[in-house]
Structure 1
Amino acid sequence: MKVHKGRGAVSGQASTRFNLPQREADGDWLDSRDDVDGPARHPATTVTEEHPRSILSFNKSPDIPFDRSINAYRGCEHGCIYCFARPTHAYHDLSPGLDFETRLFAKPQAASLLRETLAKSGYRPAPIAMGTNTDPYQPIEGRYRITRAILELCLETRHPVTITTKSDRVLHDLDLIAELARLKLVAVAISVTSTDPHLSRLLEPRAATPHKRIAALGELARAGVPAHVSIAPVIPSITDQFLEEILEAASAQGIHAATWIMIRLPHEVAPLFREWLDAHFPDRAGKVMATIQSMRGGRDNDPQFFTRMRPSGVWADLFRHRFRVAMKRMGFAKPSIALDCSQFRRPSLDGQLSLL
């Protein structure tokens, strides 16, 4: 099984849910391919600009703590093999595998579209979640700066926002984030799956190293930004051993709030994750999947509201207990995010703030 250096997915297999075309390589062709075309190249990253008519997405999911979100990018170059957002690429006739992390989309007009939404007379403010599907600080943010433009607008209009990321690039916007924090308008979560840089390169090949993420948490805390470590996702027999180490490292940086999320494998993520296990951890692949299924009612994934975010069974209870004990011993608490919506100032479409 071929592993692509610097990429999370092993294959670029397309989805079958939307009648996408399938291709299968013939054995004779595989034997002669290098002689005809030369050695296979590493898949390159491409970015396509798209221009949607709206940017703010609303949801009514009863088991997530926000009702609106912004995703300035589609796809994510971090390449996290477990990413639950991978199936969204199938909607565009692209593979949730390699295409998701190599064929990216950017929305350069995101901030101006958000301004139009915030200017509407019927709009009512509530925290906007960033980083719910794809990372707002993935590498191409360095070129496009879409996330920064959105934060500038949030500061201008005094609109609350939350950020979830796996990148220390969040510190590039610390000037804005610190000012938003002073006004009680922002909270940041940084996801850390392990303290092992080698494992991180396999799981999240283009995300920041665990050390950089934990150091970024410290910088945020010292700047007065409400920040917490998100141990997400937890992968049994792969990352679960790092729970206490992650909390200890975060505590040393002045972080005392944490959450955790068990791995979820919706739709095409399950077969991609199985391929990844077979390529990198064949000795324990069966054990990992059996444990996941034991927490998901015997299936690879539980799609039901509430239970999808709350795994059950002996293994889940064991990790839950470990988390509570470690939190208590180290003085951690669950994040308490109380952002202020009362300061919101509706903008006008010419860039000036409304007096109403």
Structure 2
Amino acid sequence: MAVDVLTPHALKGRAAVSNHGSRFDRESRVRVDDGWGCDGGLPEKVRTIIMADTARSIISRNDSPDVPFESSINPYRGCEHGCVYCFARPTHAYLGLSPGLDFETQLFAKRDAAQLLTKELRSRSYVCKPLALGANTDPYQPVEREEGITRDILSVCRDFNQPVSIITKSANVLRDLDILAPMAAQGLARVAVSITSLDRDLARTMEPRASTPGKRLDAVRALSGAGVPVAVLTSPMIPALNDHEMEAILEAAAEAGATAASYILLRLPLEIADLFGEWLREHYPDRAERVLSLVRQTREGALYRSDFSTRMKGTGAYAELLRSRFRLAIKRLGMDRRTWDMDCSRFRVPDAPVKQLSLF
């Protein structure tokens, strides 16, 4: 019997258009009209669900040659910011969930992160190296307002003089300025703020629950004014969508006090390729094929290449042009001469709290 397959549509406040299964699923599912007066589609609103993550360790380590850190912490799995291009989306497949809407709405909070970090930093085998906070999912996504896990982690870093860098799209990082500013004065803290576009409408569509571009620039200004070194990440650069804004973003960030910058060319590994294509055709149908064609030109004809030497910047004429524009811009703005050395020599293990003995 023939059935009418329903076309997914964008939901208010969410970026992913669909909630298809992952690469590990043995079957694929589609929503259909069953003829009983119910369209079988997604509700107009999907609420966020927070679940506990029972991790046994909190520090993740990597040896990727194109990543500038070895150790990182992610307080959350999944991210309510919902950035459609997020390279972390495929990790939700390991949890049996969709990298689509599930990634934005079914989150896992590592509520014992501070305790786990304290245990790992106290280990005799621990060697102090800078920690990157939020390298996978944003440590200041909206649920952090209630959970406070990121602040607890920073408090532990402060107590141990553990150097930490933060990557975020949220102005809520300013909540923890009372911790970050004193740490920065000792060479123990720095922040990278991701600004993908100065266009509020594009940002709202592409990163629906992240801070507005103006709020992020305000955060750069406030952090810099408090003595916290700030970088701007103009990432990802998306051909024919936001790539024309690169210089404007860098100029606005430099004016606000950012002293360093970087960029990454759009990456579309695994399920992200289909999710991003759906999003493009939903919101920018007039240029969707143009965008994807240019992406293929930077990935040797494919939508993605995972080779460490090229995955961040791509190859070909367009990628080289973008690289040249970035280098010229940061040189002109004086953002190419700054170094951020983190002082690991200050690391110390504080005395363990003394527990009161019971009389009975």
**Smaller-chain TM-score range?**
over 0.9
Q: CA deviation at 1:182?
A: 0.7
1:60 aligns with 2:57: no
Match of 2:3 in 1: none
Instruction: Name the CA distance, whole Å, in 1 between partners of 2:314 and 2:218.
Output: 30
Normalised by the length of structure 1, the TM-score is 0.94
Q: Does the 8 A contact of 1:259 with 1:335 survive in 2?
A: no
> Following superposition of structure 1 onto structure 2, how do residues 102-113 of structure 1 map, counting pairs within 5 Å?
102-113=105-116
Which of these residues, 215, 220, 226, is aligned with residue 217 of structure 1? 220
**Maintained 8 Å contact 1:80/1:204:** yes
User: 1:119 aligns to what?
Assistant: 122
Per the alignment, residue 95 of structure 2 pairs with: 92
Q: Please list, as runs of the form range in 1=range in 2, the aligned pairs for 1:1-356 lying within 5 A after superposition.
A: 1-15=8-22, 17-19=23-25, 21-29=27-35, 32-34=37-39, 40-333=43-336, 335-347=338-350, 350=353
Distance 1:39 1:239, change over 3 A: closer
Classify the secondary structure of the residue corresponding to 1:33: coil
Q: Is the 8 A contact 1:12 1:99 kept in 2?
A: yes
* Residue 27 of structure 1: how far off its partner (Å): 4.1
Q: Distance in 1 between matches of 2:192 and 2:320?
A: 24
**Counterpart Cα distance in 2 of 1:10 and 1:344:** 46
Query: Take 1:131 and 1:25, find their aligned partners in 2: how far apart are those partners?
Result: 34
Give the secondary structure class of the aligned counterpart of 1:229. Answer: strand
**CA–CA separation in structure 2 for the residues paired with 1:283 and 1:144:** 41
- CA 1:39/1:234 → structure 2, altered by over 3 Å: closer, same or farther? closer
Gaps of 5+ in 2: 1-7, 356-360
Give the TM-score normalised by the residue count of structure 2: 0.93
**Equivalent residue of 2:85, what SS?**
coil
3-state SS of 1:54 partner: coil
Q: Which runs of 5+ in 1 are unaligned?
A: none
Distance 1:184 1:26, change over 3 A: same
Cα distance in 2, alignment partners of residues 26 and 325 from structure 1: 52
CA distance in 1, matches of 2:42, 2:319: 44
Per the alignment, residue 4 of structure 2 pairs with none
Q: Is the 8 A contact 1:302 1:308 kept in 2?
A: yes
Structure 1 residues 112 and 335, CA gap change in structure 2 (3 angstroms): farther
Would you say the 8 A contact 1:50–1:106 is kept in 2? yes
1:115–1:349 Cα contact (<8 Å) kept: no
Residue 63 of structure 1 and its aligned partner are, at CA, apart by 1.4
Query: Structure 1, residues 172-207: CA drift from partner, whole Å, max 9, x if none?
Result: 000100011011011110000110000001100000
SS at match of 2:234: strand
RMSD: 1.8
With over 3 angstroms needed to count, the CA separation of the structure-2 counterparts of 1:68 and 1:20, relative to structure 1, is farther
Take 2:127 and 2:37, find their aligned partners in 1: how far apart are those partners? 61
Q: Distance in 1 between matches of 2:328 and 2:207?
A: 28
Q: How far has the Cα of 1:33 moved from its partner?
A: 1.6
Deviates more, 1:59-68 or 1:190-199: 59-68
Output the amino acid matched with 1:82.
Y
Of residues 206-215 and 333-342 in structure 1, the stretch that sits farther from structure 2 once superposed is: 333-342
What amino acid sits opposite 1:24 in the alignment?
V
**Aligned equivalents of 2:79 and 2:354: distance in 1?**
31
SS class of match (2:37): helix
Structure 1 distance, partners of 2:234, 2:333, is: 15
CA distance in 2, matches of 1:42, 1:249: 35
Structure 1 counterpart of 2:232, one-letter code? V
Q: 2: distance between equivalents of 1:7 and 1:334?
A: 39
Change (3 A) 1:313 1:39: closer
- How many residues get paired? 348
Identity, % of aligned positions: 49
Offset from partner CA, 1:81-121 (integer Å, 9 cap, x none): 00000000001110000000000010110010011111110
Contact 2:261 2:335 in 1 (8 A): yes
The answer to whether the 8 Å contact 1:20/1:93 transfers is no
**How much does 1:333 deviate?**
1.7
User: Contact (CA 8 Å) 1:258, 1:334: kept in 2 or not?
Assistant: no
Distance 1:294 1:105, change over 3 A: same
Deviations 1:31-72 (A, max 9, x none): 8325xx899331110100122111111111111111111011
CA contact (8 A) 2:31 2:41 kept: no
